[in-house]
Amino acid sequence: MMLGPQRMRKLFFSSSIFLWVCLSFSNLEAVDNHHQVAESQAFLTRYCVDCHQGPSPSAQRNFEGLDLSKSDFDTQLLLQEVIDQLTLKSMPPKDAERPDAKQRLSAIRHLSHRLQSMRLQSRDTGKRTVLRRLNHREYQNTLRDLLGIDMTLFDPSLEFPRDASDSFDTIGDSQIMSA
């Protein structure tokens, strides 16, 4: 089936519009994320940093160097605690300047969105396959299933390094590779 020149132009034009719209939305999302981080940082600076800074911050939580653009575990943990305290309305304290309900809910929404983004970043492997290996139990079950061998009499994994003793033998971070 051959497309005529007018139909080709329409197809090209509609494809170009679609591509432009997709690229515009991805750029808007990045701008919106940057805006939310800036708003959240301003909220924390205004309502939290006065008490939570210096050599002896309140509740041993120091927000002075808190950078919401990082996604390390400590930042995520601290951010979750902030969200919890704002949700419970226990922070800021009653004798300090407090945000109104709209500001508080907006901050909770922005901080929650940022925390979710941080967690997704932390789980991302960068499009790389994480190294995996079978533990002893999985190896024995695989051989038993493939070869039909009774593994109580024959254990080819005796010379392999022992599995971790923390009872979580299928977690890749706790496994080692044998030579």
Residues 114 and 148 in one domain: no
Domain, as residue range, for 23: 15-123
Q: Is the predicted pLDDT of residue 173 greater than 70, yes or no?
A: no
Residues 24 and 109 in one domain: yes
**So what's the pLDDT on residue 8?**
66
Residue range 68-119, pLDDT digits in tens: 777 788 888 888 888 888 888 888 878 888 888 898 888 888 888 888 888 8
Residues 116 and 161 in one domain: no
Domain-embedded: residue 128 = no
Residue range 61-77, pLDDT digits in tens: 777 777 777 778 888 88
The total number of structural domains in the chain stands at 2
pTM of the model: 0.55
Residues 92 and 170 in one domain: no
Residues 143 and 104 in one domain: no
Residues 87 and 28 in one domain: yes
Domain-embedded: residue 110 = yes
Residue range 5-48, pLDDT digits in tens: 777 676 666 666 766 666 655 554 555 566 777 787 888 778 77
Q: CA quadruple 9, 14, 15, 17: dihedral positive or negative?
A: positive
Domain-embedded: residue 1 = no
Q: Is the predicted pLDDT of residue 52 greater than 60, yes or no?
A: yes
* Gap between the Cα atoms of 179 and 176, Å rounded: 10
| Token pair listed for 72 | 């390390």
CB of 53 closer than 8 Å to CB of 64 = yes
Domain-embedded: residue 7 = no
Residues 76 and 28 in one domain: yes
